[in-house]
Amino acid sequence: MIITVTMNPAIDKTVDIGDFEHGGLNRIQRVVLDAGGKGINVSRTVKELGGTTIATGFLAGNSGAVIETMLESYGIRADFVHVCGETRTNMKVVEQNGTVTELNEPGPSVTLEQTEELIAKLEAYADADTLFVLAGSVPRGIDKDIYRVITEKVHAKGASVLVDADGELLVRALEAVPEMVKPNWAELEEYFHFAHTADRAELIQLGCRLLDQGIGLAAVSMGPEGALFLGKERKYSAPGLTVKTHSTVGAGDAMAAALAYGWDQRWPLEKSASLGMAVSAGAVTTLGTKPPAREIVEELLKQVQLEEISDV
C-alpha cells in the first residue's frame, strides 16, 4: 500500500500566457485547475500507472472540500485531517517559451493536537507492506522535524518511507534513515554544503554518501540532464528524454511516484528507474500538473537508456 502525506496541499491554478509583461497587462490564454501538492501529485501518478494509493495530510475550508471532491473524481481515497482556515491556491504562470513563475500562498496554520491526530492516523496504516511518501513543504505551526518524527513512528511498525523534501525538512528526515530519498541536483548540493555546482561524478559521490548513511536508494533528478538512481547493490545513470515541454512542474513528483509504484510491485531498481525516467518526461508534456497517461509512458519507456555505474 502507498500512503502519500501532503502537509500543505493546494489547488494548483495553471495559467498559460504569451510573454509575461512585468507591471503590465497579461491576457490569460488558458486556465487549468488541479488538486495539487507534492504528495497528491504522487497519488495521482500512481493511480494513472494502475496502482492504489491513499492521500493524507491536512485540508481546510472550501478549497479543501474541492480537493477532496477532485480526488474522489480521480478515484483516489482521501483521508485528511481537517483544520481551520483555508487550503491554499497556488498559481503557476506558464509563458509560451516554457518559463514558469509560481505564486504560492502560505496555507493554514496547524495545531500540535492536529499534528498528533495525523501521526496517529499514519501509525494506524503502518505495517511491513506500507510505503509512506512524505513530500513537499509544511504549513505554519509544524516543526521542521516532522518528517523525522513520522519516519521513526512508522518504522516502529515495520513500514518504509520515501522522502521528497528540501532544506531542514530533508536534513532532519535523514536522521531517521528513510528507505528512499529523491533530491534534485540543487537539493543534494545544499544538503552537503557543496561550494560549487557539482558535475555528474561529484553528484554520484554525494549520492553514495547518502547510501553510506543507511539510505537504501538515492534518486537524484537532474532536469533535462536526466537522473541518477543509486542503490546499495546497483547504480544507474540515465540521460533525459527529448520531449515537447509544456511545464516542468510535477516532473520530480512523477519520478517519486514511479519509485513508489516500483516498490509496491517489488520491482528491481532497473525497472523502477526506467519507469521513473518515462513518467517524469511524460509529466512535462501535460497541461497543469496532470500526470501523463499510461499510454504515453509506455511509448516513452522505449526511449529510456540506463547505464550501469561501476566506477564508484
Q: Which residues are catalytic?
A: 253
Parallel/antiparallel/unpaired status of strands 131-135 and 160-164: parallel
CA distance 93 to 86: 22
CA angle 111, 106, 288 (to 5 degrees): 125
From residue 127, alpha-carbon distances to 118, 124, 267 in Å are: 16, 8, 19
C-alpha grid cell for residue 108?
Answer: 493554514
Q: The C-alpha cell of 12 is what?
A: 494548483
